Every structure is written in C-alpha cells, then in structure tokens.
Structure 1
Amino acid sequence: MADLALSAPVAARSQWGRLALYGLLGFSAGLPFYMFSTVLALRLTEHGVGLVVIGFFAWITLLPTFKFLWAPVLDRYDVPGFGRFWGKRRGWIMLAQLGIFTSMAAMAFTGPDLPLTALFAVLLAFWTTTVEVAADAWRIELAPTQDEQGPIVAANIWGYRSAMVAAGSGALIVADDAGWTAAYLAIAAAAFLPFPILAAMRPHSHSIQGRSQALIQGLVASAVILLLVAAATAAVGGVVLGAAAQAGIGPQSNVTPVVLGICLLPFVAMALALPKIRRAPADAPLRRSAALGPYVDIFWRYGYAALLIMAFVSLYRMGDVLALTLSKPLVKSVGYSLTEIGIADGAVALTSSMVGVALGGWLVTRWRQGWTLALGAVLAALGNWAFVWLAHEEPARWVLYLATGADQFGNGFAGTVFVVYLSMLVNPRFPGAQYALLSSFAFLLPRLLAGASGSMEQAIGYDGFFLLSGALSIAALLFLPMIGRVKPRPAEDEAKA
C-alpha cells in the first residue's frame, strides 16, 4: 500500500482522481485490443484469408487468459529502474506501453505475411494484457469494497471501450483511405499518448540524481526485456506451427471436436486437485508457495463451489467472445464498406457502450448482484441475435447502427457487472494474481472455441453461429440461483475469532 501513496498523484486519492486515473488506464489497455482481434480479422479478410484461418487467429486472444502465469511476477518484482522511478504498478504499466507501441508499429509493415503478422499480434496481446494485470491489481488495492469498485470499474471500462471503439473505427476509416500500414501506424501513435501522461505523474524517486539513474536504467532494461520477449515468442511460435503441421492441421481442418475436448481438461484437473487443497493446513507448502499459493487460496476458500464458479464465469461472456470473432466478417459479407463499419464502430458503438457501462456501474451499487448479472446475460444475448437480423436485411446504415448499438450496449453492461462480480471473489491478500486467474479462466474456454469459429460457421452458417452465441449467454442464467448461495470459507484466524 505504500507504493500507492508514493506513486499515485494526490488527485488519485480522491474519488474523481481515481476515476480519471482508471479512465486513462482503461484507454491504454483498450486501444490495442481490436488491432489484434476484430480489425485484424478484417485485414486478413481483405488479404483473401479464409474464415477457418481467421478463426485460428482468434486464438491470439487466448493469451490474456494465461495472464495468471506471469501475474505473480508483477506482484513480486519491480521493473529495473522503472520501479524506483514510478513505483511497482506504474513501472510495469510503462514497460508494457513501450511493448504495445513497438508491436503495433511492427504489425503495420507485415502485410499478408501470416507468420510475422501472428508474431507481432501475439506480442501486442501480451503487452496489452500486462497493462491490464498491473492496473487491475492497483484498482483492487485502491478500492476494496463493492461500492467503491462500481464507479472505478465503470470509469475503467469507459476508457477501455472508448479506446477500443476509437481504434476500431479510426483504423477502418484510415485503412479505407490510405491502406492498412497507415492505419496501424496511426493507432500505434495514439496508443503511445498515455505514456507521457502517466510519465508526468509524480515520480516514486525524490532525488534528482536518483531519478535520472533510475530512468536510464529502466529504459535500457526495457529494451532488453522487449527483445527477449520477442525472441522467446518467435521460438515458441515456431515450435507450435511445426507441431500443427505435423498434426495435419490446415485451412480446411475441423478442429471443433478437439477444442471441445480440451475445454473439459481444466475442470477435470480442478476436480482432481480439490480434495488435497481442501485438507491443506495454513502452513502447507502448497498454500505458502509464492507461485501457487494465491491460486490455491481460491480453491481452499470456495472448495467444490469453485467448480461451479469457474463453470459460470466461463459461460457468462462466451456469447460475446464468439460473436466478436465473426461479427465484422459477417457485416463485410453483407455488403458494408470499411468506412461504413468504421462509422458504426465510432459514434454509435461508443455511445451505446458507454451507456451500457454507466448503467451497469450504477445498478451494481443498488441492485442485488444476481439481478444485475441476469440482466447483463439477457442484454448480451439480444446484442448477438441482432446480427442474425442484420444478415437478412438489405444493407442500410440504420440497420448497421441499430445492430451495432444493441451489441455494444449489452456488451458494455454485461462486462461491467461481470468485472465487479469477479473483483468481489478475490482475496485482498492476493489481488493481482487472483483477479488475473479468475478473469483469465473466464475467457479461456470462450477463446478456445472462438478459434474454431470458422469451422463452426462452415457447419451451421452465420445464422446458426449467432443464434448459438446468444443462447450461450442466456444459459448462464441457470447458474445464478446456485451462485448466489456460494460463500467463501473463512481463514483459520477468522474462524478462531
């Protein structure tokens, strides 16, 4: 907590200061997201890449679901130099901002080269996720109660969705006029804007000489870290592509059955591990481990109800994630231009999303949690089904605007109430690691299935695909009566008291 007092500006200690800070942090994390997901899907479509391969590229969005693997590093260590200059949380955010800028600028020049495009898209996803991990931990430390979380989560998602929409809309309009290279360079430049703003906040180090040394050390360390991460990513990517080729996976492969089987593995592993975790005393190595302890704590506190929680969080946003993969290719196939899609993703999507986020942030402070989660699931489903309606209408801007608005409003509302729900599951002792695990698992299964979306569309068509995605959102309602009764097990010291 001392890190917060020293590294955050005085304004951040006030409610309005926190809202402004988290609006900016949301912007810095949201701006790159469409560039390795939706916008990338349209770029690949323009280059003539098939839907099955575009679906495979959706697996890049799986990377954020594994952020729990490096979240403990962000909780435990500082970025050399940057940690002394800005403090732990902001030091990681600044390093990640540099990674975002360099990765997106590199993507600008990849063109139709699929391996290079994949490499820099993975790097962009990694550094974007790192920003989120550091910002989420800081948020939970700053606002430990549900009433405090609501407004800050809303501000964060406002910034996030504003940036996503601005990037998606701006990139498509620029691409239609000046090409994809110019579009990616423009968004890369915009993505770098939060860096000087966050850098101008009060430094952690008070000595002028100490500041200079820390900043120089941080810049050198950042360059080394960026190169090492890029080299490691390229090496792992080469192994994965080689293994896929050996397994015979190609553009015509139907990977849906295999993916569904993989989706069951996390639940099997959790069920097998739970008995041992529940019996573990406070001094057990499994619970005291710096690497595993924060994650084991979740299952120790919730027991077998953790399986129910994990099933619910996996399903709640599944419809939105699946729809995101093919919504833009569907709209493009109906006959809309990049500029028309960009305009819809601009003012219409931004306004609808912000209204949904604001309503969700307001209702979580007034309604019971189950009711807000239920309404979010229904609104998300209606947004997905709007694309079925769009596909059967003659191309007209009002049709595109209405479908986009319904999708973004439901997405914004559901996203806000879901973030608050996940935040309330976290043990305040391990905010960064536990929120990373919960939010990662929430999108693991949906993003695994999203990689098979091209194969699914070939089997059931666009209508079947979007009807299914909406139905999955509605299916989350079945869990709510049970979820509402789940309570965490008290810690040993609390039980004795």
Structure 2
Amino acid sequence: MRRLDRRLAAMTAYGFVSGLPLPLSGFTFRYWLSEVGVGLTVIGLTTSIGLAYSLKFLWSPLLDQAPPLGLSGRFGRRRGWLLLVQPLLCIAALLLALSDPSRTPLAAVAAAAGVAILSATQDIAIDAWRIETFPEERQGVALAVYVWGYRLAMLVSMSGVIAMASIAGWHAALVVVAAMIGAGVLVTLAATREEQAAAPRPRLRDAVVEPVLSFFARPSAGLVLAFVALFKLGEALAGLMTAPFYRSLGFDKPAIAGIGPFSMFGTLAGISLGGWLVARIGVGRALLVTGWTQTLAMAMYVLLSLSPGNLAMLYGTVAVEAFAQGMADAAFLTFLSALCVRAFAATQYALLSSVPQLAIHTIGNISGVMAKSLGWTLFYTVCMAAAVPGMLLMLVLLRRERTAAVPKPAQ
C-alpha cells in the first residue's frame, strides 16, 4: 500500500509538471501577445504552436524503441527519457520568460514552440510510465490524481502568471513558472522505476505499421477518425481566442486572473459527473449527452460578447464552459482508450489523441481572421455550429453499434 501511495503521489506531481507548460504556448502566451499589441491575425496563427501536441505520435515510437542515451539501465526507459527532456523543457521555458514579444516576436514564438515540443514529449513519457507502473485496476485512480495535479498547474500557469505579471511583470512571473517546470527532474528522480519488459527491437513495422494496420482493420475506421477529429472542434475554436476576447470586453488582469478557480473546479466537477455518466449509461450515450451539453454551453460566449465588463457573466461563462468541457472529456478519453488494442495501446492512443488536436491547430490558424471579420458574437455562433457535424457522426456510429457503446477494437 505504501508503495502504491508513493506512485500516486508521483502521478499527482507528474500531472502538475505536465500542466504547467501548456498555457505558456497557449492561453497565457496569447494573452501576453494581445497585451503588447500584437494583432488578432498573428495571434490566431500562433495556434500552430500547438501542432506539437497534435503530431507527437510521429516521435512517440522513438520513446518506445530507442534507449535514452544510456540512462535506461539505472532509471528505466521512461524515467531516462524524462531526465533528458525535462531540463531542456526548463531551458525553453526560461528563454520564453526572457523574450520580448513586442520587439522580437519571432524569438518569443520560437521559444514557445520549443516549450510545446518538449512538453508534448514529456507527456508521451509520463503516459507510458503510468501505463507500465500501475496495474490495470488502478489506472483510473492514477488518471484521476493526474488530472487534479494538471488542473492545479494550469491554474498557476494561467491565472497565477497573469496575477503575478500585474505586480512583478511578465518576465518575473514566467521565470517562476520555468523554475517550477525544472522541478520535474526531482519528481522523476523520486518516482518509482516502471516494471519494464525486455527492450524491444527497433523495427519500423512493429513501432508504426502494425498499430496503424490494426486500427484500420476495424469496421468504420474512417468514420471513427472523422468523429474523433470533429468532436472537440467547435469547443476548441471557441477557446483559442478567449485571451484577446476577454481583453476586448474590458476585463483587466485581476479580473482575468480570477477565472482560474472557476475553471478548475468547474472542470473537476464536470469530469466527475462525466465519469459517472459513462459508468451509468455507457460511453456512447454519455458522449451524446456530454457532447450536446458542451455544444450548448458555448452559447455562454455569445451572451458574454453582449455583456462587456460584466464580471458575473465572465465567471459564469468560464464555470459553465469548464464544467461542460470536463464532462465531455471524461467520456471522450474513455472512448479513445476503448478504441486501442492492448498490444499497441501506447502508439494508438498517441495517434488517436493527436487527431482532434491536429484538426484544431490547422483550422485554428484562421480563428483570428474569423474573429476580426465576423465580430465576437457571430464568431462564437459559428463555433457552436462547428460542433454539430461531429455530433451527427456520433449518431451514425451509435446506430451502427447495437450495444450503443463504442466500436469494438480489433484483436
């Protein structure tokens, strides 16, 4: 029991160090750009930085197949890779903290891109460590404590950074976060070594081809991929432009910093309810319920666009959106996990979880242009409409599956 508690503590800490970098190349970075006067079109283009999270499946086989430069013997394959990646991630975050986007925006964007690439690599290794360290019946608990740590870190890296920046400036606030990211090395050193099998033979077919062929052997594989790509599209498009959206409505740093607790607790409540729904009515029906809830919740953005300066409406929007998104995430992640064949679970999960991000960060590049040309009210109305095709595809999938669950994975 004590050993398991130690692993859960490490999993919580890993959730925290994983959640810190994401806003540094996302919401917090875009808010910083908007404050120093960078235009909406350019801010929209920075969503391409998030492609690192979308394309991580391209190098995830490397972490499965290649030893981490001699560190695997002492620390294990997963912790060895983490000890290589985490110091570099800290350096990239420090370079971002010391950059000046008002004078050298390209350098700031390059540093943010470095943070995203290294953060995505860290996520691959942590996911693999979790899968190999916890028994199957404890995976749910491990994922739950990971989410708690992750959401707390995002509160620090978003609201905390903005609040600190209003007092000490952006550079000082981001240096503090870079130092916390560097503490990930200490987490890895203290973590339990995974129970690793013999080192795999580095063959391209085993690493890449077989997982892909196995997935496409299932019925309706193309339809499943289309649904996975579209399910989160509307909600993600809505979230991409929230930083300049909030500022355009007249909310200052303290007001925006105050959204953090509403977002965190709304998400955690939504995840809890979404998980209960999955267990109660099955993942397919839970996806329908939570997906439509997520779509309708985007109407709060439309109402907020008509209520500039209204703090109650701002916090209500954030809380409702976070709650609906948490519900949908619980069902969606369960859906993705159920699609994976156990023999190829790591690679297939990296691929499937990258598909919606790939759609978001390619189409998302035009979000700034859309917001500028349509205005905020119409822009968020279009975002609501963008969620509908994914929900219609889910209806088709459910009609093909008599059990109203998920497509059965190929064996």
TM-score using structure 1 length: 0.74
Identity, % of aligned positions = 31
Query: Is the aligned partner of 1:124 residue 2:115?
Result: yes
Contact 1:153–1:416, Cα closer than 8 Å, also in 2: no
Structure 2 counterparts to residues 430-445 of structure 1, below 5 A? 430-445=344-359
- Which residue of 161, 165, 169 corresponds with 1:175? 165
Q: 2:214 aligns with which of 287, 297, 309?
A: 297
* SS, match of residue 375 in structure 2: helix
- SS of alignment partner, residue 335 of structure 1: coil
2:270 aligned to 337, 356, 366, which one?
356
Q: CA deviation at 1:203?
A: 5.6
Of residues 171, 190, 193 in structure 2, which corresponds to 1:200?
Answer: 190
CA-CA distance at 1:191 after TM superposition: 1.9
Q: CA deviation at 1:317?
A: 1.0
| Mapped pair 1:331 → 2:246 | yes
- 1:132 deviates by 1.5
Alignment map for 1:282-293 (pairs within 5 Å): 288-293=205-210
Cα distance in 1 for partners of 2:135, 2:353 equals 17
Residues 72-111 of structure 1: pairs in structure 2 closer than 5 A: 72-111=61-100
Which residue matches 2:305? 391
RMSD value over aligned CA atoms? 2.4
Conservation of the 8 A alpha-carbon contact between 1:140 and 1:431: no
1:377 aligns with 2:287: no
Q: State the aligned residue count.
A: 396
Kindly tell me: are residues 421 and 355 of structure 1, through their superposed partners in 2, closer, same or farther at Cα, counting changes over 3 Å? same
Q: In structure 2, what residue type is equivalent to 1:162?
A: L
Taking structure 1 as reference, are residues 489 and 327 closer, same or farther at Cα in structure 2, changes over 3 Å only? Answer: closer
Structure showing greater Rg = 1
SS at match of 1:81: coil
2:252 and 2:163 mapped to 1: Cα distance? 10
SS of the counterpart of 1:79? coil
For 2:318 and 2:20, locate their aligned partners in 1 and report how far apart those are by CA, in whole Å.
Answer: 19
Tell me the CA shift for residue 288 of structure 1: 3.9
Q: Which amino acid aligns with 1:200?
A: A
For residue 51 of structure 2, what is the amino acid of its counterpart? L
Partner of residue 163 from structure 1, selected from 145, 153, 156: 153
Q: Distance in 2 between matches of 1:287 and 1:198?
A: 29
Q: Is the 8 A contact 1:36 1:125 kept in 2?
A: yes
What pairs up with 1:416-455 in 2 under 5 angstroms? Answer: 416-455=330-369
Unmatched runs of 5 consecutive residues or more in structure 1: 1-9, 206-285, 492-497
1:57 to 41, 46, 59: 46
Change (3 A) 1:42 1:372: same
8 Å Cα contact 2:53-2:116 kept in structure 1: yes
Q: 2:85, 2:122 within 8 Å by CA — same for their partners in 1?
A: yes
How far off is 1:383 after superposition? Answer: 3.5
SS at match of 1:429: helix
Question: CA shift at 1:407, angstroms?
Answer: 1.4
Distance 1:368 1:291, change over 3 A: closer
* TM-score (normalizing by structure 2): 0.89
Moved more, 434-443 or 93-102: 93-102
Instruction: Label 1:490 to 1:177 Cα distance change in 2 as closer, same or farther (>3 A).
Output: closer
Change in CA separation of 1:380 and 1:99 when aligned onto 2, cut-off 3 Å: farther
> Closer, same or farther in 2 for the Cα pair 1:417/1:143, shift >3 Å?
farther
Match for 2:221 among 299, 306, 310? 306
Alpha-carbon distance, 1:312 to partner: 0.5
Q: What amino acid is the match of 1:166? A: V
Contact map agreement 1:150 1:361 (CA 8 A) in 2:
no
- Are the equivalent residues in 2 in contact too, given 1:319–1:380 (CA < 8 A)? no
C-alpha distance in 2 between matches for 1:123 and 1:339: 29
Distance in 1 (CA, whole Å) between partners of 2:83 and 2:238 is 32
**Conserved in 1, the CA contact under 8 Å of 2:43 and 2:368?**
yes
1:460 aligns with 2:392: no
Report the CA distance between 1:202 and its aligned residue.
4.4
Assess, with a 3 A threshold, how the Cα gap between structure 1 residues 116 and 200 changes in structure 2: closer, same or farther.
Answer: same
Distance 1:202 1:21 in 2: 8
For structure 2, which runs of at least 5 residues remain unmatched after alignment? 196-202
Following superposition, the deviation at residue 142 of structure 1 comes to 5.2
Q: How far off is 1:423 after superposition?
A: 1.1
CA 96–360 in structure 1, closer or farther in 2 if over 3 Å, else same: farther
In 1, distance between residues paired with 2:205 and 2:109? 38
For 1:361 and 1:17, locate their aligned partners in 2 and report how far apart those are by CA, in whole Å.
25
1:40 and 2:39 matched: no
